[in-house]
Amino acid sequence: MDFRFDEDQELLQSTVREFLQGEVTPESVRALWETETGRSPELWKQLAEIGLPGLLVPEQHGGMGLCEEEMVLLIEEAGRAALAEPVISTAAVAVPLLGEIGGNLANEWLPKIAAGEAIAAVGHPISPFVEDAHVANLLLLPDNDGALHAVPRDAAEVKVQPANDPSRRIASVEFKANESTRIASGGAAAGLFAASLDRGALACAAGTLGVCDRLISLAAAYASERKQFGKPIGSFQAVKHMLADIKVKLEYARPLVQRAAHSVAHGSAARGVHVSMAKLAACEAATLGAKAALQTHGAIGYTWEQDLHIWMRRAWSLDHAWGRSAFHLGRVREALFAGTLPIGPGTTFSGDA
């Protein structure tokens, strides 16, 4: 048993962190808000060069062949930078879904995604919207009967719905379902959607860790500078204690996210519950973090000019995506009260109870 990341994994994370620090700034995030798609094809290309979209693509299809353990580290960095590119929809959800579908669809699209030449977006029965559908080349969508369809974007009608976070682009999508678009139905489709939900929620949880950490450091930096009553406001305990509480929440959400990544990567039977635990805890930390960071900033935090809201909005949008907190709490509650989970000392790690 070793609950740590190895050196290669940590190196990968720091490489991506440094890259994003250089390329994704509050100014560049804001600049993209003004564009039609809100996405940057050049940046996506660069991300492909460092391997991000193809992280989970098997090596024979030109990807890095890594797993969700690495994925959560990189998506945490995406959150810290407030990166808008479709990392979650394409890299974390669509790629493994295509892998599970297999066949021609996987053979055709996985190499293109790994090369940064294509984007894929995934819809889910729990949401009326599809994130990043407007820039996707391939859409993987549910129909009203819960079957799964693969539809080229050109064949669908995509209507972007302006949302609270200007980086988040969600769309309603209409398409003509037929025999040729249908990939799976019934239990098979349900299984694929369930796996996608776990992956999407896991990725949101991971991104949220970075968002929350950034919110805390923005607040701590501001509190160290801003003076009232002749002293930095960060020397007042009301401010200190508010931020300390968020730090506690963040650091105890982190291991839940890492364990969930391990469970998804290894196909553990408890993966759904583990993912829900992680998303719930991480999103709670970040949404509370958003409130605390805003309170710390006072009125200046309430302005559009100040960068704080870039991360506040990201915390809210990740909380909404792939199942809100109440949904995930419900999943854990039902499993816990159904008595199907082994609980108590010695049951946390599988196979030892």
Q: Which residues of 284-306 are buried (b: 16+ CB within 10 A; e: fewer)?
A: bbbbbbbebbbebbeeebeeeeb
- From the CB of 218, what's the least distance to another protein, in Å? 11
Give me the amino acid identity at 212: C
Q: Which is nearer to another protein, 161 or 350 (CB)?
A: 350
Report the interface residues with another protein, using CB under 8 A: 1-6, 69, 216-217, 220, 223-224, 231-232, 234-235, 237, 239-241, 243-245, 247-248, 251-256, 258-259, 262, 277, 280-281, 329, 332-333, 336-337, 339, 343-352
- From the CB of 71, what's the least distance to another protein, in Å? 13
Q: Which is nearer to another protein, 320 or 328 (CB)?
A: 328
Structure tokens at 278: 């992680």
**Is 171 exposed, middle or buried (CB count within 10 Å of its CB: 0-12, 13-18, 19+)?**
buried
- From the CB of 237, what's the least distance to another protein, in Å? 7
Strand partners, 52: none
Angle between helices 271-297 and 308-320 (to 10 degrees): 150
Q: Which is nearer to another protein, 162 or 351 (CB)?
A: 351
- From the CB of 333, what's the least distance to another protein, in Å? 4
Q: Which is nearer to another protein, 269 or 336 (CB)?
A: 336
Q: Which is nearer to another protein, 31 or 244 (CB)?
A: 244
CA 78 – CA 81 distance, rounded (Å): 5
- From the CB of 111, what's the least distance to another protein, in Å? 28
CA 90 – CA 122 distance, rounded (Å): 8
Structure tokens at 251: 């650091």
Coil vs helix vs strand at 139: strand
- From the CB of 229, what's the least distance to another protein, in Å? 13
Strand spans (E) along 53-201? 120-122, 130-131, 138-142, 148-152, 156-161, 170-175, 182-184
- From the CB of 223, what's the least distance to another protein, in Å? 6
Q: Which is nearer to another protein, 163 or 220 (CB)?
A: 220
Nearest to 94 by CA among 106, 79, 82, 76: 106
Kindly list the strands in the beta sheet with 130-131, ordered across the sheet, starting from the edge strand earlier in the chain.
130-131, 170-175, 156-161
- From the CB of 118, what's the least distance to another protein, in Å? 31
Q: Which is nearer to another protein, 5 or 19 (CB)?
A: 5
Q: Which is nearer to another protein, 118 or 201 (CB)?
A: 201
End-to-end Cα separation, the chain, in angstroms? 15
Backbone angles phi, psi at 24, to 5 degrees: -115, 105
